Amino acid sequence: MPPAREGFTRRGQGSDLVSTATMDEIAETRRRRAASLPNNVMKLFTTMGLLSIFFGTGDAGCDPTQGSADSKPASASTMPKYSKSGYDITPLTKQRIAEIVKTLTPEQVAVTQEAATERPFCGELVHQEKPGIYVCVVGGLPLFKSGTKFDSKTGWPSFFDPIDAAHIIEKRDSTLGMERVEILDARSGAHLGHVFDDGPPPTGKRYCLNSAALKFIPDGTVLPPESLPVNLQIAYFAGGCFWGVEDVFEQIPGVLDAESGYMGGKSENPTYRDVCSHTTGHAEAVKVVFDPARVSYKDLLAIFFNNHDATQYNRQGPDVGDQYRSEIFTSSAEQKAQAENFIKTLQASDEYRGQKIATLIEMAPKFYKAEEYHQDYHKKNGGSCRVKR
């Protein structure tokens, strides 16, 4: 058996967030694994000091302090940001903002870049009543829908609810000898106007904006790429304990979410206890939601293979059983072809000379979300897996 590769975490000591019943299940599963090992393998584990890991009496999670500088998790400043409504709200670079500003009118520059205020009742969007959406003139992020626009009698376009709260940044403003709340575009930082607590139900808010900060796009008009939500895709990977698989993928820029669950079995709605019984055929799998404009499926395949031992069959290190198998569940024929070609290339490389890749490929069956105590395990319990790129 080839030496285990470093990467995805293995089962470690349980935390206070896991119920006693759950810990009993995990302990019983470990005892069954140990009983199933051949004597020579058990002796090897004993010699290597791995029994504490196997039974969960030691911390077997990935140690971030052991990783190299280029394997540390991406910082918050380098990670793309997305709103719940599916838009990329990653701050634009200063260079990109400067390029956009060159295309704006003097009034638009004064408002968005210098926080100027246009004269009341003079903006071209004050009396705009057509159905559509209002986007920022700097970067095109959708901000408000026409259905939330109302006549505030103030002389500026007014709205009571943004498309997504994450698209607006609120900032304290003490200029002009008064306390107000300035609102900025989340993607570009452009000044939009102010928000007040004198609006209509149901929010009671009045988002008072400058027409010069907005661009109106009527319904039925093809939206420019910068005003469209992200075209998200989904990938599924199984490579040992899903605690670590999930943690690794959540550190990848362009991955919006990673969720632990079960796939590839013969029963519906399996529980952790069911899967550990080795009677359902499910693998511990992770659902990865990603932005292909930021990270490609091929990139995810590379992350997957770099962070687990694809030559091990029905196990990862001391975690033994068919639920720990290496498998890729593809969401499309294109993903399947990419995965097959990727494995073919790997198998022919020097890295896998004399070793057979055991990773299976299957069109994705139904994904069953795992119990809540398995979700974001490392975030809840501490520690993190280093990412080998």
| One-character DSSP codes across 274-289 | HHHTTSS--EEEEEEE
Radius of gyration of the CA atoms of the chain, in A: 26
pLDDT score, position 381: 86
The residues annotated as belonging to the active site are 208, 241
Report whether 187 contacts 92 (CB < 8 A): yes
Report whether 4 contacts 312 (CB < 8 A): yes
Q: What domains lie within the chain, and their CATH numbers?
A: 20-80+230-381 (3.30.1060.10), 94-227 (2.170.150.20)
CA separation for the pair 218, 240 (Å, rounded): 50
Query: Which residues touch 34 (CB under 8 Å, ≥6 apart)?
Result: 42, 51, 54, 55
101: enclosing H helix or E strand: helix 94-101
Report whether 29 contacts 328 (CB < 8 A): no
pLDDT score, position 67: 39
pLDDT in tens, the chain (389 residues): 334 444 454 444 333 333 434 445 554 544 554 444 444 444 334 333 333 333 233 333 354 333 333 445 555 556 889 998 999 999 999 999 999 999 999 999 999 999 999 999 999 999 999 999 999 999 999 999 999 999 999 999 999 999 999 999 999 999 888 899 999 999 999 999 999 999 999 999 999 999 999 999 999 999 999 999 999 999 999 999 999 999 999 999 999 999 999 999 999 999 999 999 999 999 999 999 999 999 999 999 999 999 999 999 999 888 899 999 999 999 999 999 999 999 999 999 999 999 999 999 999 999 999 999 999 988 888 877 778 87
| Residue type present at position 194 | H
H helix intervals, the chain: 20-36, 39-47, 51-55, 94-101, 106-114, 242-250, 272-276, 297-306, 333-347, 377-381
Report whether 8 contacts 316 (CB < 8 A): yes
CA separation for the pair 282, 353 (Å, rounded): 30
What phi and psi values does residue 325 have, to the nearest 5 degrees?
Answer: -70, 160
**Tokens matching residue 282:** 């499910």
Give this prediction's pTM: 0.69
Question: Is the backbone peptide bond immediately before 229 cis, with ω within 30 degrees of 0?
Answer: no
The single residue listed with the structure tokens 């051949």 is 38
**Tokens matching residue 210:** 């400058």
pLDDT score, position 58: 32
What phi and psi values does residue 244 have, to the nearest 5 degrees?
Answer: -75, -40
- Select from 108, 181, 192 the least CA-distant residue to 143: 192
pLDDT score, position 355: 94
